[in-house]
Amino acid sequence: MSTQTVHRTPSVGVTSKSTRDIETDILIVPVFEDDVLAEEAELDAASGGEIAGARTRGEFKGKDYEAFIPPVRGWKAGRVALVGMGRRRDFGLDCLRRAAATGALAARQRRLQRMAIVHGAGIPVSAPDAAQVLAEGAVLGNFDGASYKTTDPPPVWLEDVQLRIEGDPGTVQQAVDRGRVLGECTNIARELANEPSNALTPRVFADRAATIARGAGLSVDALDETRIAELRMGLLLGVARGSQEPPRLVVLQYDPKPAARTPVLGLVGKGITFDSGGISIKPAENMDKMKDDMSGGAAVLAGMVAIARLQAPVRCIGVIPMTENMPGGRALKPGDVLVSAEGKTVEVLNTDAEGRLTLGDACWYARQLGATHLVDVATLTGACVVALGRTTTGLFGTPDAWVEQVRRVGERAGDRLWRMPVFDDYKELFKSEIADVANTGGRAGGAITAALFIKEFTGDLPWAHLDIAGTAWAEEAKPYQPKGATGVAVRTLAELALAVDAWATL
């Protein structure tokens, strides 16, 4: 099937011009609720007092991501847009990232192709950090998920973005380039997760992953069903049994020459290209969303691409098990027992708890390939959505110091992560009478028992599990985010690799 382009990466540069002299279609000025625009004293006068009037009338308060576009005369920008960032005391890096994305979407809605963003000295963040997140946000706003519409006019793309930031030019431009890569790789993951499952089958996903990864200089090994069987991956093969589509296991490797042989960061992503629930079939309502059950795999792929392009100083391995979960005549049945590649036996009590099965074999394989630290990413449980909603990713793992490192880089990356318990007591819930473990522990603590099931296959390595079931898909549009795939976890994985010095000895 033919599709429209869904994202484009604009050129992003730095300018030192005064705001009134920047030539662009729209100039974005992020402001706080309590901001008096002292740094842009001429702006209200250029608007003929419209900004002050809007403030007085309550038309524009500076609340989170609301935009106000006053008429401005005498400035070289075609339009000026004030974008709210809420209260100054609540500010974080993600506020600035989202303000940039809001501006980019506002520009594109007006069919504008050039944008500039002002980083005022009153915004409490360093010039390099501001440069990175503003570039990320501008690129993230240059995304459109309507790839299969044939009647709408094609989207308008931002082609040029200028950032007015004061600081060392070389350092600032380096941060801009880093943000541009991270934004582009996030969009790659969003594009894949938005694809319908008839277009993105396991074989197609594997082929596209190989092409994307090789383009970034990664080495790729795509294992077919024969090679998967030779590795005795009974969990992955068991899930794949009900589908006419054969499974794939894609392995990506990044091996920078100057890096030490250890540590080796192992990234594992769930790649279920469609999840019907199998014999334990899901309700029909919202089953269409299960095309995004490969979002974890897309995050690992795009994260590995970012790691390679940014030349992170650490060896990395990405493992993505890909299959459908379907209720065919040969499908896995409740009560079946599977044997994992590691030799552990698993009683299947619910065929809709399939993602953890594929991740079990994949984590084992990452260990065989030399991983010393593991992170898995998966749209794993509805229980995590119940616990944390759709704005926060569940974070599980051991030991504490390693999990805290993942949390910190996630916060920097704009992926809100919340630590969940992994006490051994929960293991009692997924005991089996006839096998080593069962694949589900029931409804109580469902996200925790799912995480602990995966831990059974991590070999006691430092391990973190990101349950992105609630955060991989935006159910409604926001000023900074259209409805659809979010690309969650891509930037977290890349930032983790870049921050290797903080965790190498854990």
Q: Return the active site residues.
A: 282, 356
**CA geometry: angle 294, 295, 298, nearest 5 deg:** 90
Q: Which of 488, 332, 498, 502 is nearest to 415 (CA)?
A: 488
Distance separating alpha carbons of residues 144 and 4, to the nearest angstrom: 9
- Quick check: 266 and 369 in contact, CB under 8 A? yes
Which residue reads 């594997």 in tokens? 206
Can you read off the two tokens belonging to residue 318?
A: 């990405």
Residue type, 325: N
Q: Which of 160, 148, 141 is nearest to 478 (CA)?
A: 141
Give per-residue burial for 121-160: e unless 16+ CB within 10 Å, then b. eebebebbebbbbbbbbbbbbbbbbebeeeeeeebbbbee
In angstroms, what CA-CA distances link 323 with 89, 161, 222, 275, 359? 46, 39, 13, 9, 12
Q: Which of 298, 243, 236 is nearest to 484 (CA)?
A: 298
Local structure of 475: helix, strand or coil: coil
Strands 26-31 and 79-84: parallel
What percentage of the chain's residues is helix, strand, coil (to nearest 5)? 40, 20, 40
In angstroms, what CA-CA distances link 175 with 129, 166, 179? 7, 13, 6
Give Cα 274 distance to the centre of its chain.
19
Can you read off the two tokens belonging to residue 261?
A: 């042989």
Distance separating alpha carbons of residues 391 and 407, to the nearest angstrom: 15
DSSP structural state of residue 334: T
For residue 323, the cross-strand partners are 272
DSSP structural state of residue 254: E
For residue 264, the cross-strand partners are 315
Question: Beta-strand (E) ranges in 353-439?
Answer: 373-378, 393-398, 417-419, 437-438
Q: Please report how many Cα atoms fall inside a 13 Å half-sphere around the Cα of residue 493, on the Cβ side.
A: 36
Distance separating alpha carbons of residues 31 and 87, to the nearest angstrom: 9
Which residue reads 């009338």 in tokens? 57
Which residue reads 């608007």 in tokens? 47
